[in-house]
Amino acid sequence: MSKSSELIELSERRSAHNYHPLPVVIHEATGAWLTDVEGKRYLDCLAGYSSLNFGHGNPKILQAARDQLDRLTLTSRAFFHDQFADFCAGLGDLTGKDMVLPMNTGAEAVETAIKVARKWGYEVKGVPDGQATIIVAEDNFHGRTTTIVGFSTDPAARDGFGPYAPGFRIVKYGSADAVREAIDDTTVAVLIEPIQGEAGVLVPPDGYLGQIREICTENNVLFIADEVQSGLGRTGETFACDHEGVVPDMYVLGKALGGGVVPVSAVAADAGVLGVLKPGQHGSTFGGNPLACAVGIAVIDLLSTGEYQARARELGALLHERLRALIGHGVVTVRGRGLWAGVDIDPSLATGREICEALMRRGVLIKDTHGSTIRFAPPIVVSQEDLGWAVDQLTDVLTEFAGRAVPA
């Protein structure tokens, strides 16, 4: 039995089966390349669901983490520490917001945004206590907590986990009219992903985000943008909202904020919004810890030059051009922005999973989202040559499947 088969067998036997990983066991990585326990190399085209935008083992992020590890790792929020101010001020500047509330995971940051919006609704907007509603979109993905899965429309994420928290209205994604119709006096927020990642990298129609902004302003409702996956360089801008020049009231950030090293998430908003929280009303033992802040500061520094955003834009243009050329040759549609693409494979050829397994055998690691959709989101440090090579592998895999489906 190979080393990887042994480890996979033990993992399957001793861990909950809440994931269906590809049968590969990673041992180490640098940049965009991974090596498994047998020494085989793979190009990472998932980047930890965009947690690794700056690459595996990014030297600046690792240096910041190492320096901090040797000095101070945890204080809790009972005390200040010397990385906290710079992290909050830095992220505040990056988002253009007054204040930042650090948490750990994306789901916790979404929960934070929900709590803040409700409190703001009662204390500032004057919604009667216990009545606040939040508008969300179909096919959303905001995390896995009991409250969040309650407003998911994905049966796998939602079913069997009730009773569900009330106070959410689900509307069609991409329709500003649907949001307008769902708003009433109890509405405190509209919570949406500016590009829906888990749904298959769905880009809303042009103008949608701008219309949501207008509707929210007109109705005194907070616009919450969940940029956990779309933010921090992935789309070719710092935030996906930037493509439409739209500024939400609250940014929800996570994934790449932790530099691929530690979980770091945050909510950023102005004082009139985040200022509603008083001591004791919200918190997290690990949120804003020294190691997380040191890594977060390094990430913010990397983004401050615009280099990564520009690179995602340029490589993204190439990726999309190459992928679009496959339409009609096993690919049905290509969506996305920047270095982020959702690719619908012709379902008569193969499932997304089968494509991913075939790509794995050729040294490309990528993950399906739903059905026949696969998602390209390599680390932004990937070379142009390697990126082109990954698309070559997809091209060959599609040709192989087409050969099987239609015998000559």
Ligand X SMILES: *Cc1c(COP(=O)(O)O)cnc(C)c1O
Contact set with ligand X (CB under 6 A): 49, 105-107, 110, 141-143, 193, 197-198, 226, 228-229, 254-255
**C-alpha distances in Å from residue 232, one per residue of 41, 301, 302:** 27, 11, 10
Nearer to ligand X, 110 or 365 (CB): 110
Helix (H) or strand (E) holding 135: strand 133-137
The distance of closest approach from Cβ of residue 50 to ligand X in the complex, given in angstroms and rounded to an integer, is 7
User: Which of the residues 44, 226, 249, 368 is marked catalytic?
Assistant: 226
Q: Is the Cβ of residue 201 or residue 349 nearer to ligand X in the bound state?
A: 201
Q: Which one, of 277, 282, 268, lies nearest residue 232 by Cα? A: 268
Of 87, 141, 168, 239, the catalytic one is 141
The residues, any chain, with a CB within 8 Å of residue 75's CB and separated by 6 or more, are 81, 289, 290
**Facing residues of 367 across strands?**
375
What's the min distance (Å) between Cβ of 153 and ligand X? 14
Measured from the CB atom, is 229 or 372 closer to ligand X? 229
Q: What angle do CA 381, 314, 305 make, to 5 degrees?
A: 65
CB of 382 closer than 8 Å to CB of 54: no
Q: Closest approach of Cβ 395 to ligand X, in Å? A: 28
What long-range pairs does 299-306 form, CB within 8 A, spacing at least 24?
A: 299/54, 299/61, 299/232, 299/256, 299/257, 299/258, 299/259, 299/264, 300/87, 300/90, 300/91, 300/94, 301/60, 301/90, 302/54, 302/58, 302/60, 302/61, 303/94, 303/232, 303/233, 303/238, 304/94
Residue (257 or 355) nearer to ligand X, CB: 257
- List, in sequence order, every residue forming a beta bridge with 375; answer none if it has no partner: 342, 367
**Per-residue tokens: 110:** 């979404």
What are the distances in angstroms from CA 95 to CA 50, 103, 213, 241, 250?
Answer: 19, 16, 16, 11, 9
Nearest distance in Å: CB 198, ligand X? 6
> Looking up tokens 């409250």, which residue turns up?
147
Of the residues 97, 119, 255, 367, only one is catalytic, namely 255
Letter for the amino acid at 213?
Answer: R
- For residue 128, give both structure tokens: 């009667």
- State the amino acid at position 120 in one-letter form: W
Whether 270 is catalytic is no
> Please, what is the minimum distance in Å from the beta carbon of residue 396 to ligand X?
30
Instruction: For ligand X, give the closer residue by CB, 110 or 355.
Output: 110
Q: Which residue, 105 or 373, has its beta carbon nearer to ligand X?
A: 105
Q: Count CA atoms closer than 13 A to 6's CA, side-chain side.
A: 5
Q: Which is nearer to ligand X, 49 or 122 (CB)?
A: 49
Least Å distance, CB 241 to ligand X, is 13
Q: Give the nearest distance from C-beta 105 to ligand X in angstroms.
A: 4
Q: Which residue is nearest to ligand X (CB)?
A: 106
Which residues in 109-142 are b (16+ Cβ under 10 Å) and which e? bbbbbbbbbbbbbbeebebeeebbbbbbbbbbbb
Whether 255 is catalytic is: yes
Tokens of residue 83, six digits: 């990385």
Query: Least Å distance between CB 175 and ligand X?
Result: 19
Looking at the Cβ atoms of 68 and 369, the one nearer to ligand X is 369
Catalogue the active-site residues. 141, 226, 255
